[in-house]
Amino acid sequence: MKEESSGLIIGISIGVVIGVVLAVVSFFCFRYHRKRSQIVNSSSRRATTIPIHANGADSCTIMSDSSLGTESPRSSTQNGMSLWLGRIKKASVVSASGILEYSYKDLQKATFNFTTLIGQGAFGPVYKAQMSTGETVAVKVLATDSKQGEKEFQTEVMLLGRLHHRNLVNLVGYCAEKNQHMLIYVFMSRGSLASHLYNEKQEPLNWELRVKIALDVARGLEYLHDGAVPPVIHRDIKSSNILLDQFMRARVADFGLSREEMVSKHASNIRGTFGYLDPEYISTRSYTKKSDVYSYGVLLFELIAGRNPLQGLMEYVELAAMNTEGKVGWEEIVDPRLDGTFDDLELNEVAALAYKCVNCIPRRRPSMRDTVQMLSRILKSRHNRKHKNDSSNARSDEVSINMDQLGHQSPIPEHHRVESVDSTADSVDV
């Protein structure tokens, strides 16, 4: 009996010891797996959270398709980006700027082996591309003799990728394969402003549309100067770099020279298009926001006169300014293709603004923000006058109907560009 009791006690003891050992092992296994899970989650967060420099201060931006960061230092992005890109197939990669990377093969197919040439710029040819998704884009192939390396190109993509505004031709993708560097932009179906001003086959732009285009361009430049972080100076504002979409809304294009300035701060040679260049920049080699304002003023006179700066536009303007004193009397320089169909008051206000923009003293030129406000006020005044005239005509029509008992058809409205709800509202804001 005693032997059976001692055997039972020994068996129970051994069972308790085994149970305790199993419990301890289970506890440590649980803690190990939990800690490992936390490490994986932490590393995943670090891979998608990259420090961003904004105005000299560090902040964090989580990169995704819809979350676009500001300028990132190369040293802080390399480790995070390599971890990010290593987990995704190259064909569907999204860069830190939120810009899609396309394969050379896809772009070759979309451009029919690069045969759909639609333009030739200083930095290379531009092709129209029909992507497999049905989207139409413009592909700019950067010149192969460019001194820009792979790192500089990636920096360029990140810089351009953060610029998003409805009055800019936004970058939507890029390709860096087979020793080729390509930038993919939104396709603008109506071509350049220059083609509408100087191509006799194109229908002349009416005065109202010219003022709206001027405001579109001013808003794009205002964003670059005051909305982008850090600010961007375009450096090559001209009519051939203003593109029109299917609704005749204007967007600022071709950041070739501003890209060069952002990537290399040591460019000292004169770059740009003669006729639009700020005289102060030519003499000092220092390009500022006010240099963009000068080029914009030349563009305004180009819209008014329908004359190319290389055809003596500014000499023409200075002769007219001797009689107008820069204020009123600008009717003599108006584009003959307008055939007198313009508002005298608006013409003189826009021309006076343009003359301020080309002032030989940069500090006396308005900022782009001031320019936007002035043009918005001009359009708001037109809107109020038109509304007042429509109300007056409606009242006179009612009287006529009551008097004569006759029905009258409304006059056919003038042709205007199609406006979105938000752009219509903006066009009358001060």
| Ramachandran category for residue 378: left, alpha or beta (phi over 0 → left; psi -120 to 50 → alpha) | alpha
Whole-number Å distance between alpha carbons of 274 and 372: 25
**Which two tokens mark 162?**
């953060």
CB atoms within 10 A of CB 71: 17
The whole-angstrom distance between residue 393's C-alpha and the CA centroid of its chain comes to 41
Who contacts 365 (Cβ-Cβ below 8 Å, separation ≥6)? 290, 293, 294, 297, 356, 357, 358, 359
Quick count: other Cβ atoms within 10 Å of Cβ 396? 10
Q: Which of 106, 145, 226, 236 is catalytic?
A: 236
* String of DSSP letters for 161-218: HT---TTB--EEEEEEETTEEEEEEE--TT-BHHHHHH-TTSPPPPHHHHHHHHHHHH
- Identify the three-state secondary structure at position 127: strand
State which amino acid sits at residue 330: W
Tokens in use for 261?
A: 């300035």
Instruction: Find how far residue 398's CA is from the centre of its chain.
Output: 48
Q: Encoding tokens for residue 264? A: 């290399």
How far, in whole angstroms, is CA 348 from its chain's centroid?
Answer: 30
The strand pairing partners of 168, in sequence order, are 252
422 is a catalytic site residue = no
Provide the annotated active-site residues: 236
